[in-house]
Homo-oligomer: A and B are copies of this chain.
C-alpha cells in the first residue's frame, strides 16, 4: 500500500486536502472520504494514458488549491463539510494487472473498513473490480448496489486471453458475488458493443441498463428515479462508478474509447449530485480520463467537478440541505 504517485510526477493531493497514509488507521477513521489514486492503464483495450488521470484530476482547477470548495448550488463546502483526505496513489505497475488490482483492492478495503467513503481516481475501468470488491468486502457481498455511468456495459468475458481488462469488471463483480446483477443500474449505454451473447448474459443477471435512446425519450431524471428505487431495494449502500465516456466526446474528448451521442456534462453533474445527495453512497470511482487525448484539460476539469459534485452531495447529506439548488441563488430576490 505504498504511495506510487511519484512515478508520474510530483506527489499531490486533491485540490490541496491533507495527505493521509493508508496504514494510519486512526487518520482513516477520522475521515469522511479518502481519495485514492489508481494510475493504471494496463487494462485499456485501445488508447492508454489514464495512468495520468489521478494527477490530472487532482489539480484540474483554476482556483487556489486550498482544500475548500463552497458549492454555489448546494451551499455546502465540498472539502470542508465532509472531511476529505488523500492517500496518494496505489502501486500499480502497468504490465502486472492482477497484482495491481490486488494492491488497489486492499487499499480500498482499508478505507472502507475504516468507515470512510473511498473516492478512487482512475485509471482505466478495469479498476472498478478492485474498487467495488474492496467496498463489498467491508459491507458484505451482495449488500451494495451499483450505479454505473458509462457508454459501455463493461460486461465482457475474456478479452485478449485475460479475465481482466477495462471491458470486463462488471462481469467479474457479478460472478464473484460481490455485487448482485439485479441491483446493477447502468446509465448511458450506446453504440455497437457488446454483442447478443453478452447482452443475453446481462439479461440473465437481471441487470437494468438504460441505453441513450431510452434516456432521451424518458428523460434522465425519470430514469434515475426508477433506478434509485431498485438500488435501495434490499441493499444497504450504493457504489457509484463514473466512466467519463458516458459524456459525449464533445464534452469529454480526453478518454480512451469515445462513443458519440452521450450525455452532456451538465446532465452528468446533476445526476451525480442527486445520487450522492439522495442515496447512501459507500464508494465512488471516476475513471477513463486520459490526459494525452484531452484538450485544454476540459476532460480533467469535468472529472474534477464530478468529484466535487459527489462530495457536495455527500456534504449536504451530512449537514442537511438549507438551500434549494433550483431556486434563486441569492437570498431576498
Contact = CB atoms under 8 A, between A and B. Distances in A.
Interface residues of A, number: 115
A261 B253 contact: no
A6 B10 contact: no
Contacts of A94: 41-44, 48, 94-95
A298 B253 contact: yes
A145 interface: no
Copies of chain A in the complex: 6
Q: Which are the 9 A-B pairs with shortest beta-carbon distances?
A: A95-B97, A42-B95, A48-B48, A46-B62, A250-B251, A69-B192, A249-B298, A292-B292, A93-B160
Interface of A: 4, 6-13, 16, 41-49, 51-52, 58-59, 62-66, 68-73, 75, 77-78, 91, 93-100, 126, 160-162, 164-165, 186, 189-196, 199, 202-203, 206-214, 216-218, 248-254, 256-262, 264-266, 269-270, 292-298, 301-302, 305, 308, 325-333
A266 B248 contact: yes
A93 B164 CA distance: 10
A49 B48 contact: yes
Nearest to A211: B329
A265 B260 contact: yes
Given A65-B6, A208-B328, A260-B265, A93 B161 contact: yes
Contacts of A78: 192
A211 B325 contact: yes
A211 B293 contact: no
